[in-house]
Amino acid sequence: MGRRYDPERRRRIIDAAIRVVGERGIDGLSHRSVAAEADVPLGSTTYHFATLDDLLVAALRQVCVEPPTAVEDWRRHLDRDGPLADRLVDLLEEMAAGDRGRIRLEYELYLAALRREALRPVAAEWLDSAVETLAPWTGDRAGARALVAFLDGLLLQLLLTGRPFDRREVRETLARVIG
């Protein structure tokens, strides 16, 4: 019997890696756990991704381009009328109201770059893209970088504390950060 043609296998392996990290964390990721989750032979995962870092890079790239975290999706909020603080509060509220497990997964992959050098360029690309997206509304890259840091910090605090999103408090804080 010949090899079965499966053009979506690589994508299924990446999707499975994302689910494994979402359910078990980075420490739960292995070629074996991903193969089982993707329902593919173990050799398929190592064929497509020689190392776990290769697999994590692919997973982080995929997570960074999927809504609601895709920086391009931010423009939908930013292009609206009204004060920048209001538009950003709308964006954050939408993210916080969604699947917090998804946000946790995104940050888990993003923060894995602290220990896994292979992930750093992908995380840096995402940060640079976020800064470039916000810079037209803040007036410069420094202001945009500060705003990205604030948004990341706020979302991490929401995840860590489990507190509900307080629209008024976030709006007031954003107004101070924006100036």
72, 137: one domain = yes
Is 56 within the bounds of a domain?
Answer: no
Query: For the domain that residue 36 is a member of, what is the CATH number?
Result: 1.10.10.60
Query: For the domain that residue 109 is a member of, what is the CATH number?
Result: 1.10.357.10
103, 160: one domain = yes
28, 72: one domain = no
**Whole-angstrom Cα distance, residue 102 to residue 98?**
8
22, 97: one domain = no
Is 60 within the bounds of a domain?
Answer: no
Domain total in the chain:
2
pLDDT tier for residue 67 given thresholds of 50, 70 and 90: low
Output the six-digit token pair for 128.
Answer: 């640079």
Is 133 within the bounds of a domain?
Answer: yes
Q: Judge whether residue 1 has pLDDT over 50.
A: no
Print the domain residue range for 46.
9-50
44, 87: one domain = no
pLDDT tens-digit map of 102-155? 788 888 888 899 999 999 998 898 889 889 989 998 999 999 999 999 999 999
pLDDT of amino acid 66: 64
* CA-to-CA separations, 2 to 5, 10, 79, 137, in angstroms, rounded: 9, 19, 52, 56
82, 112: one domain = yes
User: Is-cis flag, bond preceding 68, omega within 30?
Assistant: yes
**Whole-angstrom Cα distance, residue 115 to residue 52?**
13
17, 91: one domain = no
106, 174: one domain = yes
Is 141 within the bounds of a domain?
Answer: yes
pLDDT tens-digit map of 146-168? 999 999 999 999 989 988 999 99
